[in-house]
Structures are given as C-alpha cells and as structure tokens.
Structure 1
Amino acid sequence: MPGLEGLLNYQRQWFRDDIRAALSVVAVALPVAIAYAQLTGVNAVVGLYSCILPMLVYALFGTSRQLIVGPDAATCAVIAAVVTPLAAGDPVKHWQLVMTMTGMTGIWCLLASRFKLGVLADFLSKPILMGLLNGVAITIIVGQFSKVFGFKFEHPYLIERLADLPRYITQFHRPTILISLVALFVFLLIKRFRPQWPAALAVMIISAFAVWFFNLGTFEIKTVGAIQSGLPIFQTPAFDLGIARELVMPALNLAMVSFVSMMLTARSFAAKNGYDIDADKEFMALGLANIASAFSQGFAVSGADSRTAVNDANGGKTQWVSIIAALLITLIALFLTAPLQYIPSAALGIVLVIASLSLIDLKALWQLRKRDNSAFFLAFTTLLAVLFIGVIPGITLAVLLGLFQFLRVVMRPTEQVLGLDHKGVIRSIDSAKKAIPIHGVFIYRFNSPLTYFNALYFKRQLLRKIAAEEGVECLIIDAVPCFTHLDLSVMAMLADLHIILKKLGIRLVVAGRKRQMLKWCELASVSTTDGGVLIRSDLYLALKMNQIYKQALAEGLAPLVHKQPNNEDVLIHSHL
C-alpha cells in the first residue's frame, strides 16, 4: 500500500488544502458521475457507487498523490458499446453485465501488474490515444443528441444515426430543447463570470429546481427518476456464462485504454509536483479500484483528468483528498438522493457534450501531419475506425496498427555506412560529407535488434551495399545496436554471411559486445578461430587490427595476426 505511507506521515498544515480540494472534487465528480451513469445505461446512483470504494482503494494502493479515480467518458462509452447489444433491453441484465465487465477489467489489470507489464503504458502511443479520444468524444456527442433534443435513436452505430438524422429532426421535442438551451446558457454564463464555480453542478441544481418548481414533468420532459438511497447490496450476476465470454477481450481492451489514459494523467501531475510514478503498482491500484467498483455494483473507473486537475489547482497535497471526497459522496448517496430524481436527462446530455468537447483536439491531430506523417496516419485511422466500426473494434484495430508500425520499424530500420572524419572519429557518411570512406574497409551499422524476422533483410541489404562498392577487403559490422540478444536464426545467418564473404575474399569482423559474441558464437557453433568470424571489442580496435593485418600481409606475417587471441593488445604489441 504505497499510499498508506503518505497517510501515516501526514502533516497537519496540509489538512485545510486537502479539505478545500476535496469539496471542489465532489462538486465536479457528482454531476459527472450521474451523467456517466446515464451514458453507461445504468441508474444514476450507480455513478455514485462507482466513486466511493474505488477512491478509497486508490488512496491506499496508488502511487500518485494527486490522481482522482472515477467514471471516465472513454471507459463508459466502451462499456455501453459492448454491453448494450448483449443485454437486449433488459435493464437488470445490463447492470449485471456492466459489473461483470468491470470485474474482468480489474482482473486483467491485476494480471498485468503481476507480470510487470507497466511498460504497456507506452504501448498505446500518443497518436493512437489522440485518435481514440477524438473518436470516442464524437461518438458520445452524437449519442447525446437524443437526450438534448428529446427523441430516441433506433440505430446503435454512429454512421447510421447520422444518415438518419433528417428523419430524427421531425421528432424533436420542443420542451426538452428549451431545457437544454437553458442548461447550456447557465453553463456558459457561469464559465464567463464565475469560472471558479462548478458549472456542471450548478446546471444540475438549477435545472432540477426548475423541473420540480414548475412541474415540468407534465410536459413529458424525461428526468433521472427515482433513486434508491443507501449503500448497494452485493448481488451475484445471474446470466448465461456464454455471454460472459463475450466480455473477456473487450475487458482486456478496456483495461489497456483505462491504464494508458490514467498513466498519462498521473505522470503529468507527478512531474509537475516533483515525484515519480510506479507503473506496475498503478496497474495493481487500477485493478483493485475496478474490482472494488464491481463489488459495490458500480462500473469501470479510470484516472479522471478533470477531477485530478481540480484537485491540483485547489492545492490537494495527499490521498486524503480522495478519502474525504469519497466520504462526502457516501453521505449524498445515503441521505440526499431524493433531489437527484428531478435532474432532467437533457441537462445531463449538455454536461456530457461539454465534457466530451474537451476531449476533441482535431487541430493537434492535423498538426501531426506536418511533424510526423506516420503518426498522423495512425491517429487518423484510429479516429475513423472508432467512428465507422465502433469503439471496441476501433481500439483493437488501433492496437494492431501500432504493433504493425512498430514491427515495420524493427524489420526495416534505418542503416548507416560509417567512415572517418578529419579528426579520425568514426561517424556516418551522409550528404554533409564530414566523413569519408576508408579504402578497402566497409563499416556497416544496422539500427535495430537482429532477430529471426529481419535477419534475411539484414543480409540482403549488406550484400547489396557491398556489391555496389569496389575493392572491399574487410567488412566491419557494428554489433552494439543490432546484436542485442541470442537468436539462433541470426547466428545461422551470420555463419552463412561469413561463407559468402569468404568466397568473395572479404574478411568479416564483428565489433562490439565481444564477450557476448564469443559466447553466442560458441553456442551456435560459429567459428571464431582461424578463418572464422573475427570478433573485436569496438570499431576503433577493429580498424587498428585491420591496419596491422594489412601491414603484416605486406611483410609476409599475415598468419600471426589472423588468429583470434584472448587479448588483442598482446597481438598488437607482438607485431609492433
């Protein structure tokens, strides 16, 4: 429990800041939790349940002092996309599937933590996440049109909804639109004149008061409805286990997206406040928070960037902010749920639309085109995939695209031919012409680890380049960037390359990682004795030994220096 240390070493002067931050977090978390419950397709009180235990658990197991966990737009959109078709309109089954998927997400996170997979925080690259969040935000905004304008979508997918929009326009409900406009006006007014106030909470309070005071329910304006007060009673999900199998892979995708999103938030605020984050422990904390949410009948949670920002802006120092906020939300769930039933769905739709707008950054996505065209392609493809084929398939495709892009870089990396500059420093030969080739020597650098799937490409590229050169007597391979681990396919390729070069009268020298290379060559039965592959400690020694060999050859002493001694310095001294 990394958070326990901070709680035990608490300083009294922090308490005032933590209380102020906790109140601000609750003011933001309350409307968002209710709105995201609606987005997930469950009762509004479930949004409160999804805050209480997860916040308490993360306060003990998390390594971030500022991070606030809770419902998140992306995770709720993913859950809704998966569970809605499986539930087939049954609200109880829908809720139980949501809890089951949340528990599975937590288990995936715990497994990832157990196997030290915190490095997956870097797996979903920033371009993929950028495209994903833009796509999810657009999907949420279009999905909230039905609540804002007072009609019901008949199609589950975005493209069909947009295509059928002209018909939906005829179903607009004017009183609902009026409530939506009032909610939007209140939000913008508060943001303009009182930006420090919780605008979303004010929108909910004012719109709920208007529905209650003017009895707007008679105009068929949909509201949250009756909410049962009290804490949740544990229930075991009851449905066909075959349906649960449909949740396994989506839960894995959800765990990945939730973790990456949370780590981006946690790392940014940790860097701002001068401490480090343990990715593996964060994976465990996220898993336990999701299991706690499922146990308390809630839905999946992640790191909430907006609430974390509010916490930090109000001077929150420790995890006590999460504990105090959780206790306040518990009091609301126990005693203050009655007023929540008057909150109009249209107001929640406005809150969700505005929250989703903050996720959209098409300008930054377009700027990727100028900085990194491959990153732009990846982000834009992810965006289109989420919009056209859905959130979960879009995430899966994005992960596969990122993997393929990585494999392409590894399989077809950059390569360099090296030479000497006027100071005798080895450097790459390029258009700047600061280095020149060494007569009779070809120095090659392959900027990727050699493995079975790029070994043949390495050999083809090397032989092609040598064929284009004239008078090559010695080939020196820089082993440092490419010979990073033992791969028998690579060693077999090296032996084959040596045979080909030997027929061409070219000596093969591998420079760098001498001890490892000698050991690997021995294990793979690659000869390093007379007439075998020559292993040198580094590029400079390889050049020096080649120079000595040429001198010895001229003096008729070549056999002396062609052997592979244990200590090359002894050979140099003996020759000199």
Structure 2
Amino acid sequence: MDNFFSLGRWMPGLVVLLGYQRAWLLPDIRAGVSVAAVALPVAIAYAELAGVGAVVGLYSCILPMIAYALFGSSRQLIVGPDAATCAVIAAVVTPLAAGDASRHWQLVMTMTAMTGFWCLVASRFKLGVLADFLSRPILMGLLNGVAITIIVGQLSSIFGFTFAETGLIERVLAVPDYVSLVHVPTLGIGLLTLTVMLLCRRFRPQLPSSLLGLAVAATLLWFMGPQRLEVAVVGTLSGGIPRLQIPEFPPGLIRELVLPALNLAMVSFVSMMLTARSFAAKNGYDIDADKEFRALGFANLASALSQGFAISGADSRTAVNDANGGKSQLVSIVAALVIAVVTFFLTSPLQYIPTAALGVVLVMASLSLTDFRGLWALRHSDNAAFWLAWITFASVLFMGVIPGITLAVLLGLFQFLRNVMRPTDQLMGMNGEGVVHTLGHNEEVKAITGVLIYRFNSPLTYFNAAYFKRRVLQLLTGEAHPPKCLIIDAVSCFTHQDISVMSMVGELHKELKRRGIHMVMAGRRGQMTHWLKQAGIRVGEEGILVYPDLYQALRMTRADREPPPAAESRDPVEAPEVASAVFRQQESS
C-alpha cells in the first residue's frame, strides 16, 4: 500500500492507467488519432520555427507525450511543440549557432535539457505556486507580442524572400523594400493552403484543417514538381528511430543558456497550467501544480534525449482531445504511437510539404494566441493590469522575445512585491447589531468612540514593517479626536515571527504610550504573547494587551477608562456570545 501511494505521488498518470475503465477505450482511441492528425502538421511547422529539421518536431511529440502520460496529473492536457517556446528557442540559439546547423540542433537539445532540469528543481522545492506568478494580464501581453513576432517572421516564407534584418521593427519597416522580391508561385501555394484551411474550418470544423491544407499543397507540388515551380519544400527526412544521446553541456554555453532556460521553464509552465486548470475545472477534477512541474521537466528531458526541442502544454490539441471525449492519459500514448508510425515508416510524403504552407500554418496558429480585445478590455476592469499587459506587449515587439520575457518575469515580481510592501488596509467599525465591518462600505457601520481598529492586509515582514508603523501613526494623527486605544487585527498580518517586525512593534508601542494610547493585539493570543515576550516587549497591564479576538478586545476595552490586563480578559458567562460574534465576523468578512 505504501508503494502504491509513493507511486501515486510520482506518477499520477500511471495510477490512472492502472485503474483504467474499459468504457474509456474507444473515446480515448478516437481522441488520440484526432490529436495526432492535428499535432503532425503543427510539429513540422514549429520545427521550422525553431530552426531545426522537420523530423525534430515529430521527435518532440513522441517521448514527451508518453512521459507526460505517466507523470502528469491532467487527464486532458496534451503536451508538444508550442509557438511561444519555439520562438524563445530560436531567439536564443540562432545567434549562438552562427549559422552552423549541427551546432544549432545541439544547442536546442541542450537548452531543452536545461529547461527540464529547472522544472524538476522547481518541483523539488514545491514552486508550483509560480503558476500564479505571471499574472494573466502579463501573460496576455507576452503571448500577443510573441504572436506578432512569429507572424512577421513568417512573411518571408509565405512571400518567398529572406529578411536581411533580425529585429521585428526593422523587418516591418523594410517590408516595402521586399515587395519586388515576392515569388509568385510561393505566394500562390501559401494562398492555396490558407484557402483550404479556411474552407475546412467553415464547412467541416471537425476535420484537421492544418493537415488538409498541407496535404493539398504537398500533393500539388508532388504532381507538378517543386523544381519546376522553384518552391522551397521541407525536403528529404531521415526518419527512423532517433538515437538517444546526452546533450552537450560545455561551461561557456551553460552560462549563455542558464537564464534563458529558466525563463523558458517559467513561461512554459505558466502557459501549461492555464490550459490544464481550465480543462480540469471543466471535467470536474483537480490537478497538482508541483506534480505538473515535475511532469513538464521529465517531458522536456525526454524530448532532449530523443533529439527534440522544448515543449509545453498545447491548448489547441488539448481542446481537440476534450472535444473528442478523451477520458484519460491514454490519449497521449495513442497520439504518440500514431506520430511514431508516421515518423518511422511514412516520412517520404512529408518531403513535398512547402515551407510557404508551413508558414501559413504558423500564422494561423499564432493568430489563436492573440487577444487584443481582451487586452483593451482590461482598461475597464483593472487599469494597473491594462498597463502591465501593454508594457509587456510593447517590450516583446521593441526589445525582442527574450528581453520581453525577462521583463515580464520582473514585472510579475515587482507587482507581487508592491502588493506585499504596500498592501491595502482598513479601519473597522461596528454596526447596530454589534458586528465588526470595514468603515466606508456601509452607512450603518460606525466608528467606535475613543477606539481605532486597524487591519493590515498583508503578512508583516522586514520590508513592510516601517510602512505599517508609518500608516498607523498617520491614521492616528488624522483622527479629529485622538483615540485612547488602538486595536490591531493580528490575524491578518502577524503570520510568522520576524525580529524586524517585533522591533517595529516595540518602537510603535513606546510611541503610542508616549501619546497616551493603549496598544491592543486581537487574535493569535498564544503566538503573539510568546513572540512579544521573546522580543523583550512587556505584555499585560503595563505593556501590550493581547486578546483572543476583536470582540473580546472591544468588550474588555473602554474608551473612558484604562483597559484591564489581558489576564482578566476571559468572561465565562459571555463565552457563547463571543463564539457567535466571531462566527458573524468571519461570515461578514
């Protein structure tokens, strides 16, 4: 039994497969074949985006899908090549490879392995909370910027010319200079592929439009001959079983790749979790973020060992899985086997796929990443989120993908620190029924004469302790009639012991005592008493009074006389009333 629970912690997908239900088999097979039909053309297209051979995209699907099926906790999520991850890889590796295709491929595998390593480290230290680190607005700005970067980059493939410029803005400004270089047959192939895809989505949305578009374009070139039309194609694929190998880790390259790999791990995980959580909620189960981090790590290591590139959660393929009724992780295994059969035995037809058609597939996939309407709508709901999203979007366009991702991570960090260092706070009052509420939201809630109740909505630590003290003194100074007692809601802010915080409390107590104001802590009575005494701060009649909750503190504190010591704060007759009041306080919060 212990071994089973240990297996469940490490391989939740395998546990689901061991308890497999026969009724799931046909829906899983149908969903697996459908996922493979969508994944095949996308994998080839993303391989071109990453700057490696088309077969590498297929390698990046097989073992990673199987690895996730065993280690992942989501029953619907499909992992595989992703537009954002491939754009990041290309941006990092291309300058380091300096035009050497073999070195480029090796660097891609090395970066993929390092990404997997970072994911495993994050899982080991239970950093699944990072799924909430990059806020949704920041991720929206990032993905929109990456999508525009990919679309502009694919114009050369669709129109048949090669950009001499490397930056996005420079490429956009140079587009008029390339009009005369447009290759009409290449553009025609691209338009044919686009037409087939759009017609398929309009009249037969259940069919894989990307696969049909590539099939029509490849068939036309096979019939007419790519040399005759002078149209670039994928070319001969080696196929076969990839030779497992350990990526190289020269020290110089590790220094160059360590931070980009960390950024890639972060973005891949956050993007994957958004997809996994949405489909888990739809199908009525929960997923474990730390286990998902581990599964993503093993999937990336499997991709690197099989000569593939970094992968992430694929929202479009996950949607196909869910739409076809997939029930378990067996869908990933079925899809991986179908792709493996094509990769090992049926690569010959793939050589006629035109790069212009792949460019159209990438453009259409990138358009699904864009959500400018959602970005603009943020201005009504959250002005700060609106500016964060657009700053991230602009940084990707003007600075590049890697600096844009770095800035997005820093923005997420700064946003978190700002919320912790300068949180919201409230003054509390009481309504006619004796229930404590926030002042200002309800006209029936009135301040208590001679008493100031303060709530600080963040854990107190060394970097916001001075702000806490400053806010308390500002509020006391702003009162028309200086209160005789300050009650601090300790539940919301005193979450852990911090010597800097205790030092600040001692200083604040001395200042309040000098002003003739009693300082009272409400909540966490045992912990607060222990922490205050350890810090050398007197507790009781001559020091800080500590009560179990706000209601006890209010009953035992009188504005017209000195409060009794904390040791006398319990009144057994009023205990049921206290419990009822506490329940009402929690309910009203």
Same fold (TM over 0.5): yes
The residue number in structure 1 matching 2:212 is 202
1:433 shift after superposition: 2.5
1:404-443 matched pairs, under 5 angstroms? 404-430=414-440, 432-443=442-453
* Residue 446 (1) aligns with residue 456 (2): yes
Q: Tell me which residue corresponds to 1:510.
A: 521
In structure 1, what is the Cα distance between the partners aligned to 2:524 and 2:249? 58
| Structure 2 residue 533 is matched with structure 1 residue 522 | yes
Instruction: Output the CA distance in 1 between the equivalents of 2:183 and 2:27.
Output: 45
Whole-Å Cα distance in 2 between the matches of residues 100 and 364 of structure 1? Answer: 36
Structure 2 residue aligned with 1:223: 233
Deviations 1:423-476 (A, max 9, x none): 222222216422222221111111222111111111112112212221411111
CA distance in 2, matches of 1:490, 1:458: 9
User: For structure 2, which runs of at least 5 residues remain unmatched after alignment?
Assistant: 1-10, 576-589
Per the TM alignment, residue 235 of structure 1 is displaced from its structure 2 partner at its CA by 3.8
- Amino acid in structure 1 at the alignment position of 2:526: R
- Cα shift at 1:126: 0.7
Give yes or no for contact 1:93–1:239 (8 Å, CA) kept in 2: no
Q: Is contact 1:138-1:356 (8 Å) kept?
A: yes
Other-structure match for 2:253: 243
Matches within 5 A, 1:114-129: 114-129=124-139
Of 355, 358, 367, which aligns to 1:348?
358
Q: Which moved more, 1:313-322 or 1:282-291?
A: 313-322
Instruction: Give CA-to-partner distance per residue, 1:179-237, whole Å, 9 cap, x none.
Output: 11111111112122211111110111111111111113223210001111201123444
Aligned match of 1:358: 368
TM-score relative to the length of structure 2: 0.93
Equivalent of 2:495, from 484, 495, 502?
A: 484
| Counterpart residue number, 1:64 | 74
Match of 2:178 in 1: 168
Counterpart of 1:98 in structure 2 is: 108
Distance in 1 of aligned mates of 2:526 and 2:170: 63
Matches within 5 A, 1:191-340: 191-237=201-247, 240-340=250-350
Q: 1:244-292 CA distances to partner (integer Å, 9 max, x unpaired)?
A: 3211111111111111111111111111111110111111111000000
Q: Which runs of 4+ in 1 moved over 4 A?
A: 236-240, 570-573
- Deviation track 1:78-122 (CA, whole Å, cap 9, x = no partner) reads 101110111111100000000000000000001111111111111
Q: Which amino acid aligns with 1:45?
A: V
Q: CA deviation at 1:570?
A: 7.7
In structure 2, the CA distance between the partners of 1:174 and 1:455, relative to structure 1 (3 Å rule), is: same
Amino acid across the alignment from 1:142: V
Q: 2:556 aligns with which of 536, 541, 545?
A: 545
**TM-score scaled by structure 1?**
0.95
Q: Choose from 144, 148, 163 the match for 1:153.
A: 163
- Distance in 2 (alpha carbons) for counterparts of 1:402 and 1:236: 34
Pick closer, same or farther for the CA change 1:313–1:280 going to 2, 3 Å.
same
Alignment check: 8 A CA contact 1:508 1:533 kept? yes
Rate the CA distance shift 1:239–1:535 in 2: closer, same or farther, 3 A: closer
Deviations 1:483-512 (A, max 9, x none): 111111111111111111111111111111
CA separation of 1:229 and 1:419: change in aligned 2, threshold 3 A? closer
Name whichever of 442-451 and 84-93 sits farther off.
442-451
Give the count of matched residue pairs: 564
Partner of 2:483: 472
Q: Which residue of structure 1 lines up, in the alignment, with residue 586 of structure 2? A: none
Alignment partners' CA distance in 1, 2:263 and 2:532: 42
Q: Secondary structure at the match of 1:568?
A: coil
- What secondary structure, in the 3-state scheme, does the structure 2 residue paired with 1:246 have? helix
Aligned to 1:226, the other structure's residue is in SS state coil
Q: Report the secondary structure of 2:551's partner residue.
A: helix
Cα separation, 1, equivalents of 2:214 and 2:129: 40
- Judge conservation of contact 1:531–1:562 (CA < 8 Å) in 2: no
The answer on whether the counterparts of 1:415 and 1:447 sit within 8 Å (CA) in structure 2 is yes
3-state DSSP of counterpart to 2:571 = helix
Shift of 1:372: 0.5
Aligned to 2:466: 456
1:526 positional shift:
1.1
Within a 5 Å distance, the mapping from 1:3-18 to structure 2 comes to 3-18=13-28
Letter in 2 for 1:563: P
| Matched-pair contact (CA < 8 Å) for 2:545–2:566 | yes
**How big is the shift at 1:364?**
0.6
The answer to whether the 8 Å contact 2:556/2:564 transfers is: no
